[in-house]
């Protein structure tokens, strides 16, 4: 789905997702936990709560993994000098 985007566009979109989307998703995940377990005295066991947060942490990246694939690597379309210096 994101393969048609250029390297620069994927990199910018990844930064946008990390700076805007991730904090929104964190608020959504914490709100969901508050909705599922409204009574603070009747929380699930710590390991169950941890498993839920880990599951929610994995779920947000699944549809967006195409954006982040290869973003940390050098730009494949960039032409470098023969001596390897990019500056």
pLDDT band at 85 (very low <50, low <70, confident <90, very high): low
List of long-range contacts for 34-37, beta carbons under 8 Å, 24+ apart: none
The predicted pLDDT at position 73 comes to: 78
pTM above 0.75, yes or no: no
pLDDT tens digits for range 9-31: 888 999 999 999 999 999 999 99
Instruction: Give the chain's end-to-end CA distance (angstroms, integer).
Output: 33
pLDDT tens digits for range 26-60: 999 999 999 988 888 888 899 998 999 999 889 88
Q: What distance in Å separates the CA atoms of residue 26 and residue 57, rounded to the nearest whole number?
A: 9
- Each domain of the chain, given as residue ranges in start order, spans 7-68
């Amino acid at each position: 789905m994101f393969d048609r985007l250029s390297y620069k566009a994927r990199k910018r979109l990844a930064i946008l997702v990390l700076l805007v989307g991730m904090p929104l998703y964190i608020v959504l995940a914490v709100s969901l936990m508050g909705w599922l377990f409204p009574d603070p005295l009747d929380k699930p066991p710590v390991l169950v709560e941890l498993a839920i947060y880990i599951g929610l942490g994995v779920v947000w990246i699944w549809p967006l993994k195409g954006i982040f694939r290869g973003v940390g690597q050098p730009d494949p379309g960039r032409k470098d000098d023969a001596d390897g210096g990019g500056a």
